Amino acid sequence: MTRLDGIPCWAELDVGDADPDAVIAFYGAVLGWTLGDDIGADHQHRTVHHDRIPVAALGSPGATAPPAWTLYLAVDDVDAAADALEELGGQVLHGPDDDLAGGRLLVALDAGGAVVGLWESDDPVLAPAPGRLCWAEAASAEPGTTRTFYRELLGWQVADADADGRLVCHAGGGPVAGIGLAGDALPHWLAVFAVADVAAAVAAAREAGGSVVTADGRRATLTDPAGAVFGVLEVALEVA
């Protein structure tokens, strides 16, 4: 898949002091991941793989505590994005830094108060397939503010609310993310990973010590044993 501004491209889990082998045991059961030896940036501990392809990382970027997932969105120029996001009401928390592979990345607060990463890289974004990042959901106290922030920063086109009241955001000609109300929760981005069978993923999460926040049709929101929240979405076809 072509790398275009605003496409969800990576996710990393701030594991704190947890044992990466214990963490990967849970995600291995739910998403079929294995732990790799390579790293993608100075602050990342290890990458994780699905079918020998790097799909995410276990690390501690210093922007989230307790353990939580940080979503990264692709950008063409992370240094320019760092300046722009602060003008739009965001705040850079970490970076921009080199990623050890010729790219650059940062972690920031968006204008809605959610932690988000931006990553400049020559690597293509993986097409949605089981085990890979496939979608993102923003929970915002002010969805209109979040919509304006990403529209101006990344050029997202935002459609009217869907049946669930969620604003649907488009980049590169297709939907890439949703924006909804945070309610009583703190503002955050939810990284959503593709699975072949959402019911099987839910059952595996329960058996491996996680819990189910919501489960509805083809999607579910889960927590790992340390409390980090992530989503799964059933996809029908694996694309290379």
Look at 42-46, 87-91, 191-195, 232-236 and tell me which has the smallest mean pLDDT: 42-46
Cα–Cα dist 99/133, whole Å: 19
Per the prediction, the chain carries an average pLDDT of 88
Q: Tell me the three state secondary structure of residue 154.
A: helix
Q: Average pLDDT, stretch 115-133? A: 89
Q: Tell me the three state secondary structure of residue 35.
A: strand
- pTM score of the predicted model: 0.91
pLDDT at 240: 45
> How far are the Cα atoms of 10, 20, 85, 140, 195 from residue 135, in angstroms, in the given order?
11, 24, 22, 16, 12
Exposure of 194 in the CB half-sphere (CA atoms within 13 A): 19
Cα–Cα dist 174/154, whole Å: 14
pLDDT at 206: 97
Cross-sheet strand order for the sheet of 53-59: 34-35, 44-50, 53-59, 8-14, 68-74, 115-120, 104-109, 91-98
> Domain residues of the chain, as ranges?
8-234
Residue 75 amino acid letter: V
pLDDT at 67: 83
Question: Contact 213/174 with Cβ under 8 angstroms?
Answer: no
> How far are the Cα atoms of 7, 76, 114 from residue 70, in angstroms, in the given order?
14, 19, 10
- Retrieve residue 53's tokens: 């392809």
pLDDT at 64: 47
Cα–Cα dist 130/161, whole Å: 27
Cα–Cα dist 75/4, whole Å: 7
The class of domain 8-234 in CATH terms is alpha beta
Q: Average pLDDT, stretch 177-202? A: 95
* pLDDT higher than 80, residue 165: no
pLDDT at 61: 45
> How far are the Cα atoms of 5, 148, 217 from residue 61, in angstroms, in the given order?
22, 26, 33
* pLDDT higher than 60, residue 166: yes
Q: Average pLDDT, stretch 207-231? A: 94
pLDDT in tens, 60-102: 644 446 788 999 999 999 999 999 999 999 999 998 998 877 7
* pLDDT higher than 60, residue 141: yes
